[in-house]
Every structure is written in C-alpha cells, then in structure tokens.
Amino acid sequence: MAGEVPAYVFYHYKPNLVAAIIFIVTFSLSAILHVFTLTRKRTWYFIPFVIGCLFEIVGYVGRALSSGEYPNFTKVPYIIQSSLLLLGPTLLAASIYMILGRLIVLLEAHNYSIIHPKWLTKFFVLGDILSFFVQAGGGGILTQAKTLKDLNLGQNVIIAGLAIQILFFAFFITVTLVFHRRILARPTHNARALTTPWKKLLVVLYTSSSFIMIRSIFRVAEYVLGSTGELQSKEVYLYCLDALPMLCVALAYNWFHPSRVVTRKALQKPSETSLQLLMYLREANKLYSNDDFRGEIKDNFLSPLKTEAATYNTNMKYFARWRVLMSSYPLGLPPSCPDYCGNAGGGTGGGTANPDGRREPDYAGTTRSDARATKLSVNQK
C-alpha cells in the first residue's frame, strides 16, 4: 500500500559480538568503581552518571543479543540498543553540568560565571532533560512507525533532541572557558588557598565535554543521512565515534573523580573569605571609634562592603552568621580596603602582604567566640 513503511532493516551488517562484550565489560568495571566512589564519598550528584553507564552496558547487551540472531533479527534487542545508547550520554552530561556549578561555589567565584551558580546547574540540567525526552519521544515514534511519514518524523524528532543537546553543551563549554579565563586572571582567595587540584578537574571537564560533543555531532549526522547512509551502514563508525568516546568519559572520571576537589565537607565549612570578612568587620569597629577616619570610612567603604559581601554569598548556612553580625556594626571594610586595615586607627598592623604591597590582618584564628565578643563591644558603645 502506498505510504506504508518499507521493510525496515535493523542492521546492514552482523553486529560484532566481541566488540559488544568488550564494551559491556569495560563499562561494567567503570560503573562498579563509580558506585563505590559515589557511596564512599557521598557524591550523590553523580547518580545520573552511574545510570548513564548502566544504559551503555544494557545497550551493548542488546547488540550482543542481536549478533546471535543474525540474520533473523528481532525487534526487542534492536530497540534496547538503539534507545539506551542514544540516551545514555544525556545522563552523563547531567552530572558534568553539576560539577562546574559546585566548583564555582567552592572557589567563591560567583561573579566570574556567565550564569550565577544558583541557576547554572538548573539551567543546563533542564536543557539536558528536555533533550532526553525529545530524543526518547523520537525513539518511541521510530519504533512504532507504520508508515514512511512516521519513520521520517521519528528521525527528525531525534535530530531535534540531539541538536538541543549540542546547543546546550556548546554553551556549557563557553561558560566553562569564560569562568576558567577569569579565575586564572584574578584568582579568588579560595582559588589561591585550596590545595586540591581544581585546575586538573577543569581539564577533565574540557576533555569529557569534547568527547560528548564529538559523539552528539556523529549522532546528528547519522540520523540526517538515514538508515541507508554511510554511518549506519558500517558498525565501525558507532564504536569509534560513540562507544569509544563515551567509554573515555566514564574512565576519565574514574581516573580523576570530582570528589578529589568538590566534597561535602569543603562546600559546608566556613570559607577563608568569610572568615576574612569577619576580621575586616572587627578592624572596622576599631577604625570607626577614631574620629579622624570616621567620615572617610563611612563615605568610601560602606557601599563597597555591601557589593563585596554579595559576591561572598556562597555558603548561606555559614554566611548567615556574618550577615547577622554585619547588621550590628555601624559599618565595615571590604577586602579592597587600603592600608587602614593594618596601620591606622588601632589596627593590628600584622598579617600578610598582598601582591600590591597592602597588608591584610591575620584571620585564621577567628572563631565564633571572637564574633560574639566583637558584637558585644559594638553594642556597648
């Protein structure tokens, strides 16, 4: 009958059983290591990554089953491998998006990101979810196609889902590049103080993002050329441009897991910058008691403090203490204050020298008892 879909050819070749088994084993080993690290380090944001690895494993199981059915292929193993290998990388990408957001928070570099960390992960994960469901919808249409029109519709929907993924991932790489350039040009206190290799984590982010981008471009080209095109006619393309890049992504995070840099403990403890802000407030109290500096400090540093404090609003759980403390001070000094911090109005005169010659007070020993004592001294004035 006109308009009916012609007999669909599942494969134009016999799927390679050995290759499928190799990738089943390697992805399984990688997934086991990821589960172990996830539970030990409590990096729950890596759960989508592990699920993505499971999708890859089951997908290649489907190809192994199809290999045993040659030449009389059945529909179920084909649908399993086609759907899961298509959707697996989307889940890997979701965890990669979360890594960057947590790294920005850890380095207290909110103003260096094109998108505020509060929205960064949400934005890219929502794009990833959109891509996932569009591709899944296209796969569903394709597997249930009864006419040539339905077949073409399913392929076009899948192409649209892959295009969404490419656009979001290209923007993600741009955001990462901009953030990296800015943090290298003007490192935050945390970026200088952290001993963990956060720069190496960025390299792994670039590498994994590049592999996923290569795979997504290949998939778009594959569906654009159609089932009779060169890319779907030869199995070697799938293993070189999809299976291998995705395995490299999985192994890259086995080799350098984000928990080496981004940990719950690191994200929850008071940052060096927050403690420094508290010390500047203590210094401001001393300076404010000196009439010689009162007017100048009031005019020049009150507004900058609010601006500086906004950039440190990383750790709400701990920074809330500093906000309460700030409300009891007549004014405070931002980290950009001049030599007053160390030399004038009763300042400590101690601390470490900045690259431009200014000195900052020592604040490593500041505690909550210090904060309470300073607050009481202000209220008594």
DSSP string for 329-347: SS----TT--THHHHSTT-
pLDDT score at 62:
95
pLDDT at residue 379, as a whole number: 43
Predicted pLDDT at 287: 53
CATH architecture of 17-266: Up-down Bundle (1.20)
Give the distance, in angstroms, between the CA of residue 139 and the centroid of all CA atoms in the same chain.
27
Beta bridge partners of residue 4, listed in sequence order: 147
**Long-range interactions of 373-377: CB distance < 8 A, separation 24+:** 374/281, 374/282, 374/285, 374/325, 375/325, 375/328, 377/285
Domain boundaries, the chain: 17-266, 272-379
Return the bridge partners of 353, or none.
359
270 backbone φψ class: left, alpha, beta (φ>0; ψ -120 to 50): beta
Query: Which two structure tokens, joined as six digits, stand for 203?
Result: 């390299």
pLDDT in tens, the chain (381 residues): 444 555 667 888 999 999 999 999 999 999 999 999 999 998 999 999 999 999 999 999 999 999 999 888 898 999 999 999 999 999 999 999 999 999 998 888 888 999 988 899 889 999 999 999 999 998 888 878 777 788 889 889 999 999 999 999 999 999 999 999 999 999 988 888 888 899 999 999 999 999 999 999 999 999 899 878 899 899 999 999 999 999 999 999 999 999 999 876 655 554 545 555 555 555 555 555 555 555 554 455 544 454 444 444 444 444 444 444 444 444 444 444 433 333 333 344 444 444 444 444 443 444 444 444 444 443 444
Q: What is the pTM of this model?
A: 0.70
Query: What pLDDT does 46 receive?
Result: 94
Q: Is 352 exposed, middle or buried (0-12, 13-18, 19+ CB in 10 A)?
A: exposed
pLDDT of residue 368: 41
Is there a contact between 277 and 312 (Cβ–Cβ < 8 Å)? yes
By the 8 A CB rule, do 380 and 330 touch?
no
